[in-house]
Structure 1
Amino acid sequence: MAWIEDHLMLVILAVLAIIIFVFLFKLALRAALIFGVIAIIAIFIFGVSPNQMMDLGKQGVNSASTAYEKTIEPVFKKEMDDAKHVEKKDGSFVIQSKSVKITGKDGDKDAKVVYKGKTYDVDMNVIQPLREQIHTTKQ
């Protein structure tokens, strides 16, 4: 019980990092779609060059990525540094840290993240970089 009290904030931040990353990814996709429509209107109606539009888009994406990399990612990586990664022959895997358990199977769309007895579905695209990071550090 004392361990939970000591590491509760780290666990909460790790789960929040996963949730926020998924949210930011979806938000970026929506923004790209809206930006595409605006770009088409700007090019054909207002005569703005495509290069000018591309530069504006790159600046927006870079600022969102930088915010994630400087705030959430370091906390999450610290939690996963001590994680154990077990892969089974059928393609399923388990990533177990002190407070988070992630299970999934290669080829599936989602993985399961268990935190405090509650299970959350997380897109496999979010989990894959984490698996690769753990592979490279644990081999």
Structure 2
Amino acid sequence: MLLQPLTRSGVTPWYKAETARPVVRANAARLKCILKCAFSLNEEEAQVLAYLVSRSRGAIAKDIAEALDRNPEVVRRALRSLHSKSLVIRRPYPLRRGGRAYLYEVPDNIVTALTEICSKVSEVIEMINSNRRGNEGS
């Protein structure tokens, strides 16, 4: 299956009660394309949002930059833009040595919508593949 919606359960971020919410599992490149198209994002924004969508919990900019092997300032700029578009939420996150950062997470309603989109795309792809197999057998 090309895109597969899954359910996440048992995840308890420090700021949230335990809930189950869908998680989008997809090829990273395809997910980025869907995000770019659906939300009119640039490459950096789509890459950061795809990373956050695929995680089971939020992340701070420094960790996102390290995981994506990107410049931290590029990631912070993308996060500011995503936050201004209401595609991510941010919460204060105290740092061990003082100071603070923000913990960024994709809102549940966005993850749910992306899960539905991925499910529909999977259905269309499966229908196309079934039709192709049927035509090849004729």
TM over 0.5: no
- TM-score, with length taken from structure 2: 0.28
Question: More helix per residue: 1 or 2?
Answer: 1
Where relative contact order (Cα < 8 A, 6+ residues apart) is larger, the structure is 2
Structure showing greater radius of gyration is 1
